[in-house]
Structure 1
Amino acid sequence: MDVGLFTANNIWMMIATALVFFMHTGFSFLEIGLTRSKNTINILFKNIFIITAGLLLYYAWGFNLMYPGFEEGSAGIFQFSMDSFGIAPPENGMTPEYADGGYTWWTDFLFQGMFAATAATIVSGAVAERVKIGAFMVFTVFYVGLVYPIVGAWKWGGGFLDAWGFYDFAGSTLVHSVGGWAALVAVALLGPRIGKFGDDGKSKAIPGHSIPMATAGVLILWLGWFGFNGGSVLSADPELTSLVLVTTSLAAAAGGMGAVLLNYILYKNLDLTMFLNGILGGLVGITAGADLMSPNEAIIIGFLAGLIIVLGVALVDKLKLDDPVGAVAVHLICGIWGTLAVGIFGSKAGGGQFMTQLYGVLIVGAFCIVCSLIILSALKAIMGIRVSKEEEVEGLDIHEHGMDAYPDFTND
């Protein structure tokens, strides 16, 4: 490969890595903005733990597990080839073969490591304000260290989903729904926050303490998605990268408009939080096929994702599940939609592709649900996963961390 092209590819992938890393700031702002001030330290601690532990786990074995070269006879399911602890460049040079040698092995590790941590961050928001910090940390180790790279290997590591023709460009299923399935299981096992559902069973709003911060978080996430989707081109190809950034942005904009429109029709108010989640739903929805769609198709996918957000949030409430940030609707439901949309729109549209996408969603969902149930049920039995009533009422910051995020202000 031409040295100049190799350098350009590598620089773009490093920039994309930085953008995906910056998304963790967006997730942190969004989560603390949509929850109460008395739990701010707790949420920030979880997010910092996720990125630090996630990178170390991905270095130790996650990256090798995800891109293993399956053992002969494995059918690309299990029997992974783990030749070493930690990462090392391949014998044939410094470039990953699956990326056509377009950039360095080290850059690829860091880029993929940013994705790995995102799966647990999705769970963090859903379980906010009542999960034990120790239990969440143990869960993160197992989910990021084992579940995420195994599922990723099935497609991105050349496993059986890849052999079937399942398509997920940047992770509507492999990242977002992997986190979303775990969030759904965790929310169900934890139960709702105190005061979320009244004696009449109706959902009660528990306002977040900083909507401006949540808004900043969503804008940061939108920016970070340029690296999330744009970097998934795995090169600095000008035409394809530009198309991906366009489809990503149009889907986000359409998602926001779809959500705010349907929310107004149903509830007669212009809800900013629904607007924000609609943007995120559009981003998640386009992620599986951002490189396949025309701008018009991206707008349709994003707009429908925005509608799905409003209906998804209502469904989660109806099921008496308490998700403070809307993670299940955004990452799970829109992740499923985006994956199925690959079989409906774009260059791969067709009945055969749609069924392949559906099978992939169902298999990944079943695996993630079973793994999440095993991990969380074991933690519930051994150490408990929910804080006491007193701790929840007074705030996790004081009880779990012995400090206050806003010492000059009164806690909610």
Structure 2
Amino acid sequence: MVKKLVLSLVALSLVFPAMAFADPTTTSLDMGLNALWILVSFILVLLMQGGFILLEAGSTRMKNAGHVAGKTIFTVGLGSLVYWAVGYGLTFGSDNAEAGINKIIGWGSFFFEPAITALEGDSYPSTIYFLFQLAFAMIALSIAWGGFAERAKLSSYLVFTLLFTSVIYPVIAHWIWGGGWLAADGAQDYAGSTVVHLTGALAAFAATVLLKPRIGKFNKDGSANEILGHNQVFSALSVLLLWVGWFGFNAGSAVSVGDGFFGYVAFNTQLGAAAGAVAALLISWLVTGKADITATLNGGLAGLVAITASCAFVDPWAAVVIGLVAGVLVFYSVKFFEKMKVDDPIYALSVHGAAGIWGTLANGIFATQVLAEKVGVGQGGLIDTGSWHQLWIQFESVVVCGAYVLAASFLILGVMKMVMGFRVTEEQEIIGLDLSEHGTFGYPEQMKKVQQNL
């Protein structure tokens, strides 16, 4: 015990030098460890943006690769500023004196000015909690870009970033995480199957519908053409990066080191992801006769999305079941949206939307009373308690949050379409967004060879 305490103090003195000259207490030691873990989790979640860059670039064509990378960095930068100025205050602001209004939206802490250190009694500094929540908002935003891929103007990314980060995402996050009315009802969404993934996916759906399919995706008879991404290795590497980052996403949501509960959350996360990848490969192999790599990658991500809501609420066997169902669901969901003539290049609607819905509902089936009490949200699900109550709350949160995001996204994007237009011209789409939007190529050497051959 003494050895562990000494090692912890040495580690903390390196991270927080001022502590080397202060008399440590158990409270300050706990706060320092919590702060360190949340900061590491923020870094892991922020690095998931690299996964999104590789996923979107690898799943689309070479002529758009530079655009994908550049607009991701730009929108994360812009979104961070908007979230600092407005989004965080609308999610977690507590200056609103009217309790009734606070059920709908937060208010206060705009242009957030945190204390420079943790205050007495705090479990962690507010600066680090802000960064962690910011990273979640940026993930939801990047999911939404799946519906814009290969055909949206750069200006549309700018405008939608401003509005999504200020009036769409903060409302949903407040309802479930910020003390809003769904939180009061006991809605369980530990790390964001609904708040982050479903919100981003439904915004992507609105964009996909209003932008209409990419040139050449569907034939006049309604049949679909496969538009292959240019680098499947990029796509696979992206899944690995996202998978690793997800441990910050889920386990980081414990926001404390405490008794090590974050390790249990990470354990369930790994099981859910693994089951999703295996199920998707097997179902694609069974149905098509080929073990489809893209389906496997989607299955792994779908397992991660589905377990995100329930990773702290379910037993390990249930995490496996949730992942298995997600892997099968995403395979058929992709086929469904294609049949409905919805062009979803990054499979955002299936991976984040369908799996996000399933993951949220799964709490109402598999959550245990013991873990619900441990987390302090809601109650056990149908199997553990025999009660339909939690499943109804989960269903309610999916329907209400989904309706709000769809209505707000269609309204905002519809106005954008009328006022400024947000799809590039046919000529610009054919030559690619790298050249038409940025005047350069993501792969300049490769494009030189193509031009020389022409």
Question: For the superposition of Structure 1 and Structure 2, which TM-score range results when normalised by the shorter chain?
Answer: over 0.9
Q: Deviations over 1:127-168 (max 9, x none)?
A: 210111101220111001221111111111101001111111
Distance 1:178 1:88 in 2: 27
Ranges in structure 1 where 5+ consecutive residues have no aligned partner:
none
Q: Deviations over 1:362-394 (max 9, x none)?
A: 110110011001110010001101111111111
Counterpart of 2:104 in structure 1 is 78
Distance 1:126 1:176 in 2: 13
After superposing the two structures, state which structure 1 stretch, 49-58 or 27-36, moved more. Answer: 49-58
After superposing the two structures, state which structure 1 stretch, 229-238 or 170-179, moved more. Answer: 229-238
Q: Measured at CA, do residues 150 and 24 of structure 1 come closer, stay the same or move farther in structure 2, by a change above 3 Å?
A: same
Structure 1 residue 75: deviation in Å? 4.9
Distance 2:97 2:46 in 1: 32
Q: Deviations over 1:216-242 (max 9, x none)?
A: 111000000000001101111343111
Counterpart of 2:373 in structure 1 is none
Q: Measured at CA, do residues 111 and 268 of structure 1 come closer, stay the same or move farther in structure 2, by a change above 3 Å?
A: same
Residue 256 of structure 1 contacts residue 275 of structure 1 at CA under 8 Å; is this kept in 2? yes
Counterpart of 1:349 in structure 2 is 381
Distance 1:237 1:46 in 2: 39
Give the one of 393, 396, 418 matched to 1:381: 418
Distance 1:80 1:194 in 2: 42
Give the one of 186, 191, 194 matched to 1:173: 194
Q: Deviations over 1:88-135 (max 9, x none)?
A: 2379x8359xxx832110000001000111111011123210111101
Distance 1:80 1:352 in 2: 27
Find out whether 1:126 has 2:147 as its counterpart: yes
Q: Equivalent residues in 2 for 1:172-211 (5 A)?
A: 172-211=193-232
Q: Deviations over 1:252-293 (max 9, x none)?
A: 010001111111111111111110010000000000011111
Q: Equivalent residues in 2 for 1:42-81 (5 A)?
A: 42-69=67-94, 70-78=96-104, 80-81=106-107
Give the TM-score normalised by structure 2.
Answer: 0.87
Structure 1 residue 43: deviation in Å? 1.0
Structure 1 residue 23: deviation in Å? 0.3
More helix by percentage: 2
Find out whether 1:224 has 2:230 as its counterpart: no
Between the aligned residues of both structures, percent identity stands at: 39
Distance 1:154 1:95 in 2: 26
Residue 171 of structure 1 contacts residue 287 of structure 1 at CA under 8 Å; is this kept in 2? yes
Structure 1 residue 198: deviation in Å? 1.7
Structure 1 residue 54: deviation in Å? 1.4
Backbone CA RMSD of aligned residues: 1.7
- Classify the secondary structure of the residue corresponding to 1:217: helix
Counterpart of 1:391 in structure 2 is 428
Distance 2:119 2:138 in 1: 23
Distance 1:35 1:117 in 2: 21
Counterpart of 1:403 in structure 2 is 440
Residue 119 of structure 1 contacts residue 144 of structure 1 at CA under 8 Å; is this kept in 2? no
Structure 1 residue 85: deviation in Å? 3.3
Task: Specify the code of the residue in structure 2 equivalent to 1:372.
Answer: S
User: Greater relative contact order (Cα 8 A, min sep 6): structure 1 or 2?
Assistant: 1
Find out whether 1:270 has 2:291 as its counterpart: yes
Residue 75 of structure 1 contacts residue 160 of structure 1 at CA under 8 Å; is this kept in 2? no
Q: Deviations over 1:177-216 (max 9, x none)?
A: 0101101111011111111112331111111111111111
Distance 1:60 1:250 in 2: 38
Task: Specify the code of the residue in structure 2 equivalent to 1:86.
Answer: F
Task: Specify the code of the residue in structure 1 equivalent to 2:240.
Answer: L
Distance 2:360 2:134 in 1: 22
Q: Deviations over 1:39-95 (max 9, x none)?
A: 01211122112211111111112111110224314254436432x53112379x835
Q: Deviations over 1:343-373 (max 9, x none)?
A: 0002121310000010111110110011001
Distance 1:114 1:245 in 2: 18
Find out whether 1:152 has 2:173 as its counterpart: yes
Task: Specify the code of the residue in structure 2 equivalent to 1:359.
Answer: E
Find out whether 1:164 has 2:167 as its counterpart: no
User: Number of residues paired by the alignment?
Assistant: 407
Ranges in structure 2 where 5+ consecutive residues have no aligned partner:
1-25, 369-379, 383-387
- Classify the secondary structure of the residue corresponding to 1:74: helix
Give the TM-score normalised by structure 1.
Answer: 0.95
Counterpart of 2:14 in structure 1 is none
Distance 1:116 1:189 in 2: 23
